[in-house]
Amino acid sequence: MERVLGIGGYFLRAADPVALGAWYRDRLGLDADENGLWRQGDGPTVFAAFESGTDYFGSATQQSMLNFRVGDLDAMLAQLRAAGADVVPETQDMKGVGRFGWVHDPEGNRIELWQPA
């Protein structure tokens, strides 16, 4: 059986695509080129389905949630707060998995930040 090799892209609708792209670059350091190509670091990727009624993604209208691996969750959250981003105050620790925090981008999309264990 042929298998997928990894995630090839993640696409977002945006009222202002240029501004949203700049936010991801300037606030999270996602240095994609003019075509959106980004070479991410090696590491694990999680693919998981959630119950349709979950509130884990924030808004019930958000059908999926982007998760970014980070090296230092506390430093990333502090950087986002200092830049005025809408950071969720709570974090979560999962034994053997890592630490999680969340931020909303300027269009209201909840994004998860994960520091693997």
* C-alpha dist (Å) from residue 68 to 13, 15, 107: 18, 22, 17
Residue 92: CA count within 13 A, CB half-sphere: 10
Statement: residue 2 has pLDDT above 90: no
Strand partners for 66? 111
Strand partners for 68? 113
Q: According to the model, what pLDDT value does residue 17 have?
A: 93
- 80 token code pair: 């986002």
- Dihedral (Cα; 56, 59, 62, 63), 10-degree rounding: 50
State the pLDDT confidence band at 80, using cuts at 50, 70 and 90.
very high
Q: According to the model, what pLDDT value does residue 7 have?
A: 85
Could you read off the pLDDT of 9-45 as tens digits, one per residue? Answer: 898 899 999 999 999 999 999 999 888 899 998 999 9
Statement: residue 5 has pLDDT above 90: no
Q: According to the model, what pLDDT value does residue 4 have?
A: 81
**In the chain, what are the domain boundaries?**
17-39+54-116
- Superfamily assignment of 17-39+54-116 in CATH? 2,3-Dihydroxybiphenyl 1,2-Dioxygenase, domain 1 (3.10.180.10)
